[in-house]
Amino acid sequence: MPEKSPESAMAPQKLLCLPSLLLLLLTRLLPQADTRSFVVDRDHDRFLLDGAPFRYVSGSLHYFRVPRVLWADRLFKMRMSGLNAVQFYVPWNYHEPEPGVYNFNASRDLFAFLKEATLANLLVILRPGPYICAEWEMGGLPAWLLRKPKIRLRTSDPDFLAAADSWFKVLLPKIHPWLYHNGGNIISIQVENEYGSYGACDMSYMRHLAGLFRALLGDKILLFTTDGPEGLKCGSLQGLYTTIDFGPADNMTKIFALLRKYEPRGPLVNSEYYTGWLDYWGQNHSTRSVPAVTKGLENMLKLGASVNMYMFHGGTNFGYWNGADEKGRFLPITTSYDYDAPISEAGDPTPKLFAIRNVISKFQEVPLGPLPPPSPKMMLGPLSLHLDGNLLAFLDFLCPQGPIHSILPMTFEAVNQDHGYMLYRTYLIHTVSEPAQFWVPNNGVHDRAYVMVDGVFQGVLERNMKHNLFLTGKKGAKLDVLLENMGRLSFGSNSSDFKGLLEPPILGQTVLTQWLTFPLKVDNLVKWRFPNQLLKSSHPQTPSGPTFYSTTFPILDSGGDTFLFLPGWTKGQVWINGFNLGRYWTKRGPQQTLYVPRPLLFPRGALNKITLLELENVPLRPQIQFLDRPILNGTVHKTHICSLSAESASEPMELSGH
């Protein structure tokens, strides 16, 4: 069946029961592509949609954090909440995994998402970057940019501009038919993202992007910028409409007054009104109270402002896609991106949603009819997992091309490994009979190292953390260091976030050289369902360190959404039926369960397979459970960690942007 154009997707269905004359009259009265417009009315401080006063009440939802089969459900609930627009980012690294290789298929089909928004009767505010933050891996920038180690990201560095230009010359022409004045649903497009918070303040870079967007999209589309109050100076640009972001706890009057210094006339716009907040591993789960969120929203709507709520539905950082912040130390984002949003991670309406809907109804019509009830939930287990084997035993399958030899260890970027794990191996050149400290200078572990001698797990080194790890070993002993990339910085640093061993490790007084580097394709191994001939006789008595476990289980009925609970497990990665569900870190918290969407599971008796890569220590009884509700705030006591910086782990941290 041929794809519908955006114009036909937006067009009303024919009313066959009406006389043809009335049909003709209706057709002439409806706005056509050549009369459709979305513009700023500076004389009256408002937007005009097709010439009529208009204000958007929007919510953020990220298609890349929600399984494709659930897009329509989430968008419909947003529309039923009273929203008239959806705002979302386009992550460059999600669509261009290698230079010149583009993917807009399946869960990456941005245009299918635009169609679903059309069907839900939602206009679109698009944020294509190139940088997006969003607590997403490297803020949406592709890791392959770092294969040029001296590249200066988000500046007019020729290498960065060439890559960004090439990407936008593919993306933006695909977007062009979807612009509102062309019959589509995109009313405005953001250039860059909170650039004023970056520190580079390269205005020639911003002018270059603005010119490129204009050249590829034309003069009719509204282009805008978004910044926090402190970022307006370097983030705004003449010719782009200036908007701001702030949350319920901020001084609305003061912030909008500041915005007026940069955008004296036109509608007030809060592009990110925070309904909740993100979570870091080792911190408490973030929440924002319903009264605070609704009060701030109502106050802005009374002023006639247009508002986008960030997030309206958060979703999940599946796989390796979470980002990280840097505030005195490295702070990776949790797998859950629930965000305490009005629609929960599992897609269910919350009390916050109904309170927001009530506020919106005071200012504009809300669609009639109830919201769908929460989705069915499922409990299962406990299930016992069996040992598949130690990660080291699978090296031939994890790295079929063999290792790379180098005198000094190589970074992930140097060997074209964007995500996941790499193994570094060397051999001791003399006997170490007395315990000697093993460490990496200059905070050179990016991000977490699991250390083994002759296959026996010794301990962990972690970025920005003081770990005292002492090793012994005979001459010729095999030293393995498994390195985990825990997500590249998405906010809080102007430096490129290289991964791996950035410096050669030191054992005692000896700098270790002559390394074998194994880039690991763990997801491929899991999808192959493990070669059965391995490890039948070599299972360790008490397994520790990086080890694979799995089991199969049936679901006898139609099943439902569920939440994977891993009591007693330490830290690792989970796959369900070959799908990378994401990271767990039960020991550090706060997140204790992983959301498992119903479409990932085979119902009615078919066997499902769950695979764990446990990186540290396995519980005495290696069991898991599926619960009917999430546990997102499992940090009973705030984690106290000895950091390399002077900042105490127990101090409250400043909030990042998006």
Give the model's pLDDT for residue 656.
39
Structure tokens at 89: 């980012």
**Whole-angstrom distance, CA of residue 190 vs CA of residue 227:** 11
Per the residue annotation, which of 272, 345, 413, 462 is the catalytic one? 272
Give me the residues of the chain with pLDDT under 50, please.
Answer: 1-19, 21-30, 533, 535, 537, 636-658
The pLDDT score that the predictor gives to residue 542 is 66
Q: Is the pTM of this model over 0.85?
A: yes
Those residues whose C-beta lies under 8 Å from the C-beta of residue 118, and which sit 6 or more positions away, are 6, 9, 10, 184, 185
What is the per-residue pLDDT for 539?
54
Q: Which of 116, 137, 192, 194 is catalytic?
A: 194
Q: What is the pLDDT of residues 241-269, one digit of tens each?
A: 999 999 999 999 999 999 999 999 999 99
**Residue 194 bears catalytic tag:** yes
DSSP H/E element including 453: strand 448-453
pLDDT tens-digit series, residues 482-532? 999 999 999 866 679 999 999 999 999 999 999 999 999 999 999 986 655
Active site residue 647: no
What is the model's pLDDT at position 636?
44
List of residues 6+ apart from 36 with CB closer than 8 A: 50, 180, 181, 182, 183
pLDDT for the residue numbered 30:
47
Q: Which pLDDT score is estimated for 544?
A: 74
